[in-house]
């Protein structure tokens, strides 16, 4: 059984800080259509890691479509992406209230 002493202990290697991911400002995108390459597997099996997707800036947002969300650069942690692809799920519209009839007893 070996014991580790101060003299035989290996130094702890700290990870170097990752360089910040460049921020893509959506206001700088001039074209109607633009594409991105996906990384990650959170929308698997619809999208896989490395898939390329094309977005239309003028397309209407409907329930169930996929949208591209841009995070402000000050909210993005080092090494994280500033863009997220999410499926839009809208809440059902509020129920319309019908006027209630009041029954009167005679």
pLDDT in tens, 74-105: 888 887 888 889 998 887 777 766 656 566 56
- The whole-number pLDDT of residue 76 equals 84
- Domain map (residue ranges) of the chain: 26-87
3 state SS for 15-29: CCCCCCCCCCCHHHC
pLDDT in tens, 51-77: 999 999 999 888 889 988 888 888 888
pLDDT level of residue 12 (50, 70, 90 thresholds): low
Please tell me the distance from the alpha carbon of residue 12 to that of residue 51, in angstroms, as a whole number: 38
pTM of the model: 0.58
Please tell me the distance from the alpha carbon of residue 51 to that of residue 57, in angstroms, as a whole number: 19
């Amino acid at each position: 059984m070996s014991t580790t002493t101060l003299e035989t202990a290996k130094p702890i290697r700290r990870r170097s800080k990752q360089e910040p991911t460049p921020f893509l400002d959506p206001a700088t995108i001039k074209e109607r259509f633009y594409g991105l390459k996906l990384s990650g597997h959170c929308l698997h099996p619809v999208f896989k890691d490395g898939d390329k997707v094309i977005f239309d800036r003028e397309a209407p947002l409907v329930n169930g479509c996929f949208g591209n969300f841009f995070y402000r650069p000050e909210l993005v942690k080092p090494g994280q992406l500033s863009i997220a692809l999410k499926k839009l799920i809208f809440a059902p519209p509020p129920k319309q209230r019908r006027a209630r009839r009041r029954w009167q007893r005679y």
